[in-house]
Protein backbone atom coordinates (compact mmCIF):
# COMPACT_ATOMS: atom_id res chain seq x y z
CA UNK A 1 0.00 0.00 0.00
CA UNK A 2 1.49 3.41 -0.98
CA UNK A 3 2.23 5.93 1.80
CA UNK A 4 -0.49 8.39 2.71
CA UNK A 5 0.21 11.84 1.28
CA UNK A 6 -1.29 14.75 3.19
CA UNK A 7 -1.68 18.02 1.34
CA UNK A 8 -1.79 21.17 3.38
CA UNK A 9 -3.81 23.76 1.46
CA UNK A 10 -3.47 27.44 2.26
CA UNK A 11 -6.62 29.53 2.28
CA UNK A 12 -6.32 33.25 1.61
CA UNK A 13 -8.44 35.29 4.01
CA UNK A 14 -9.87 38.76 3.45
CA UNK A 15 -7.00 40.57 5.19
CA UNK A 16 -4.45 38.78 2.99
CA UNK A 17 -6.45 39.56 -0.15
CA UNK A 18 -6.75 43.23 0.83
CA UNK A 19 -3.00 43.35 1.44
CA UNK A 20 -2.27 41.80 -1.97
CA UNK A 21 -4.70 44.16 -3.75
CA UNK A 22 -3.16 47.13 -1.95
CA UNK A 23 0.35 46.10 -2.94
CA UNK A 24 -0.51 45.34 -6.60
CA UNK A 25 -2.60 48.48 -7.17
CA UNK A 26 -0.34 50.82 -5.21
CA UNK A 27 -3.15 52.02 -2.96
CA UNK A 28 -3.64 52.01 0.80
CA UNK A 29 -5.08 48.97 2.56
CA UNK A 30 -8.16 50.97 3.56
CA UNK A 31 -8.77 51.90 -0.09
CA UNK A 32 -8.29 48.29 -1.20
CA UNK A 33 -10.68 47.15 1.55
CA UNK A 34 -13.29 49.70 0.41
CA UNK A 35 -13.01 48.44 -3.18
CA UNK A 36 -13.36 44.80 -2.09
CA UNK A 37 -16.38 45.65 0.10
CA UNK A 38 -17.96 47.53 -2.80
CA UNK A 39 -17.37 44.58 -5.14
CA UNK A 40 -18.94 42.05 -2.77
CA UNK A 41 -21.90 44.37 -2.12
CA UNK A 42 -22.48 44.89 -5.87
CA UNK A 43 -22.33 41.14 -6.56
CA UNK A 44 -24.70 40.41 -3.65
CA UNK A 45 -27.26 43.03 -4.77
CA UNK A 46 -27.13 41.78 -8.35
CA UNK A 47 -27.63 38.15 -7.32
CA UNK A 48 -30.48 39.11 -4.94
CA UNK A 49 -32.26 40.75 -7.87
CA UNK A 50 -32.04 37.48 -9.81
CA UNK A 51 -29.33 38.57 -12.26
CA UNK A 52 -25.85 37.25 -13.03
CA UNK A 53 -22.43 38.88 -12.76
CA UNK A 54 -20.03 37.91 -15.54
CA UNK A 55 -16.36 38.86 -15.51
CA UNK A 56 -15.03 37.82 -18.92
CA UNK A 57 -12.07 35.47 -18.54
CA UNK A 58 -12.62 35.10 -14.79
CA UNK A 59 -16.09 33.60 -14.33
CA UNK A 60 -19.79 34.04 -13.66
CA UNK A 61 -21.62 34.45 -10.35
CA UNK A 62 -25.25 33.27 -10.46
CA UNK A 63 -28.11 32.08 -8.26
CA UNK A 64 -29.43 28.54 -8.42
CA UNK A 65 -32.49 27.01 -6.76
CA UNK A 66 -31.94 23.93 -4.61
CA UNK A 67 -35.07 21.78 -4.30
CA UNK A 68 -36.45 20.56 -0.99
CA UNK A 69 -35.21 17.11 -0.09
CA UNK A 70 -35.11 14.51 2.65
CA UNK A 71 -31.89 14.13 4.61
CA UNK A 72 -30.74 12.23 7.66
CA UNK A 73 -29.71 13.49 11.07
CA UNK A 74 -26.19 12.03 11.37
CA UNK A 75 -26.48 11.60 15.15
CA UNK A 76 -29.83 9.81 15.26
CA UNK A 77 -30.31 8.56 11.70
CA UNK A 78 -33.77 10.14 11.76
CA UNK A 79 -35.15 11.40 8.44
CA UNK A 80 -35.46 15.19 8.29
CA UNK A 81 -36.92 17.56 5.72
CA UNK A 82 -34.49 20.08 4.21
CA UNK A 83 -36.20 23.19 2.85
CA UNK A 84 -35.74 24.48 -0.68
CA UNK A 85 -33.43 27.46 -0.94
CA UNK A 86 -31.46 29.65 -3.29
CA UNK A 87 -27.68 29.25 -3.39
CA UNK A 88 -24.89 31.32 -4.94
CA UNK A 89 -22.84 29.63 -7.65
CA UNK A 90 -19.58 30.48 -9.35
CA UNK A 91 -18.51 29.02 -12.68
CA UNK A 92 -14.91 29.64 -13.64
CA UNK A 93 -14.32 31.22 -17.03
CA UNK A 94 -12.23 29.59 -19.72
CA UNK A 95 -9.07 31.61 -18.98
CA UNK A 96 -9.22 30.98 -15.22
CA UNK A 97 -9.90 27.28 -15.74
CA UNK A 98 -6.93 27.01 -18.14
CA UNK A 99 -4.59 28.58 -15.55
CA UNK A 100 -5.57 26.04 -12.90
CATH superfamily of 54-100: IHF-like DNA-binding proteins (4.10.520.10)
Domain ranges in the chain? 15-51, 54-100
Look at the pTM and tell me if it is higher than 0.95: no
Q: Which residues contact 66 (CB under 8 A, 6 or more apart)?
A: 84, 85, 86, 87
pLDDT in tens, 2-12: 666 777 778 99
Q: Name the nearest CA neighbour of 68 among 55, 51, 81, 52.
A: 81
**pLDDT averaged over the chain?**
93
pLDDT of residue 13: 95
Question: pLDDT grade, residue 64 (50/70/90)?
Answer: very high
Amino acid sequence: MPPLIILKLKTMNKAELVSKLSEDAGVSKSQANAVLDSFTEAVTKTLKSGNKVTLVGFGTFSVSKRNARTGRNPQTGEAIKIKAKKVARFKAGKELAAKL
